[in-house]
Chains A and B, each alone.
Chain A
Amino acid sequence: MKGDFVAFLGRLATGARSRWLGCEPDTRQRIYFANHTSNLDALVLWSVLPSAVRALTRPVAARDYWTGGFVRPWLAREVFDAVLIERKKPTAHDNPLADMIVALGDRHSLILFPEGGRSSGPEPGPFKGGLHHLAVRRPDVEFVPCFIENMNRILPKGELLPVPVLGGVTFGTPIRVEPAETKPAFLERARRAVIALSNG
């Protein structure tokens, strides 16, 4: 209920629509990985998912950003059920990948921004290794490339006030690690899959 309302506000504010090009909305376990240009990205991708899918989908987000202020921690805890991770170098007892594996469990899906931070260029930067690690550990989960459009125009990095341009999210064909595929090859292929959706 709370979630539906926040998602409605998210769609209203960003005018975002979803386009499912490579797969259909489904409650099966997935990792949605997308380009990252704006603090609104997690909200908008989560908002355009159908209600039943959204209820099972948890954004992976930076702890330092989502624990600041009053609204963000509330949203992260009560609405998104976000998986908060440390952005600094992982240590043995504080490894974000372990948190993500636990968060997936046997029914949840995740929203992940594999660049590790927001980029301001036209194309997403190189993807971090965690995506590959997850793909190897959980071959049963679908890895869905997503392209989030115009969020950098609505709220670019470094701006406080949004401009109400219309956004959109395009969902592509799920990918998996091929046998004998190296880690850098998989990461680059995943990145290309996201970029390919920007011209679709």
Chain B
Amino acid sequence: MNPADFQLDPVLKRLFGGVLVLLVVASGVGAVLSRRARTDAARAGMRNFNDRTRAWWVMAGVFALALVVGRTGTVVLFGLLSFLALREFVTLTPTRRGDHRTLFWAFFVAVPLQYWFVWKQWYGMFVILIPVYAFLFVPLRSALAGDCRGFLERTAKIQWALMVCVYCVSHAPMLLALDIPGYHGSRMALPLFLVLVVQLSDVFQYAWGKTLGRHRMVPDVSPNKTWEGFVGGILTATAVGTALWWATPFNPWQAALVSLLVCLMGFAGGLVMSAIKRDRGVKDYGALIEGHGGVMDRIDSICFAAPVFFHVIRFFWT
């Protein structure tokens, strides 16, 4: 797909148009409410809201650009996200001197290789590189370094980091490789649909939780997650996903079920990543994105939603 095709693709155009409207509305609301904020707490809250909105403009712009460039752009973007997420994850995970070269392999061999297979759309290698070959290689390389202290724990942490930050995330661009009989829309619509529904689910959960949240779900893991935010956010995002059925290979009720599934998986991802942060005693994985924290804080829900979304489509639609 090249930019000329994009010009002709009305589905993507309409989706981008919808995102644009959302961002303009969010910026407008942010500007009006900041002017009305009277207390310091309200002003701080609005500053965070505006930081987040500004970051959303940048993130949406980068993502749109990658999709417009096509398969290569999308694969490169998700490859970079994996690399940055892995970087934040490994920083937070205590490793030892003996893991140095294993980590070098993880960053500079496993990540590029996985995304090369995605780009080649070589499903057989894409699906086993990390669960089989990296899984076996990681402990071997660390064992060769000759440090046994906490060996299993260190190995498991590196394997887990690769699975979550690289393997899981890479399922989003791999959606472009799915050949769905009878579906003649844009392939770019699938990753866009996934990211849109999952991220909106995060935003709506946050919004419902802030306004109506009373009953905390798992206060020891994530004090901001409430039942009200969970139900409201997931239902709202599922409704949006359902309304976008025309952009996907799904009919409306299929779109509703798939949206519900990815919202639930996204919630699971956010919760699990919060548990790790809490255990390490930090609030965010990084500070790359103003108002949001690190890359990992933004894509934690994608990590869990992307593989399930991919395999559900692959199983039922191809």
Contacts and interface: CB of A to CB of B under 8 A. Distances in A.
A164 B87 contact: yes
Given A17-B287, A156-B97, A165 B104 contact: no
B48 interface: no
Interface centre among A153, A156, A161 (most CB of B within 10 A): A153
A52 B287 CA distance: 23
25 contacts: A15-B87, A15-B91, A15-B286, A17-B287, A120-B97, A150-B91, A152-B97, A153-B91, A153-B95, A153-B100, A156-B97, A156-B100, A159-B100, A159-B101, A161-B101, A163-B90, A163-B103, A163-B107, A164-B107, A165-B87, A165-B90, A165-B91, A166-B88, A166-B91, A166-B286
Interface centre among A152, A156, A166 (most CB of B within 10 A): A166
Q: How many of chain B's residues touch chain A, expressed as a range?
A: 10 to 19
- 3 shortest interchain CB distances as A-B pairs: A166-B91, A163-B103, A165-B91
A166 B286 CA distance: 9
Interface of B: 83, 87-88, 90-91, 95, 97, 100-101, 103-104, 107, 286-287
A163 B111 CA distance: 13
Interface in A85-132: 120
Interface residues of A, number: 14
Nearest to A168: B91
B91 A161 contact: no
Contacts of A17: 287
Contacts of A156: 97, 100
A163 B88 contact: no
Contacts of A164: 83, 87, 107
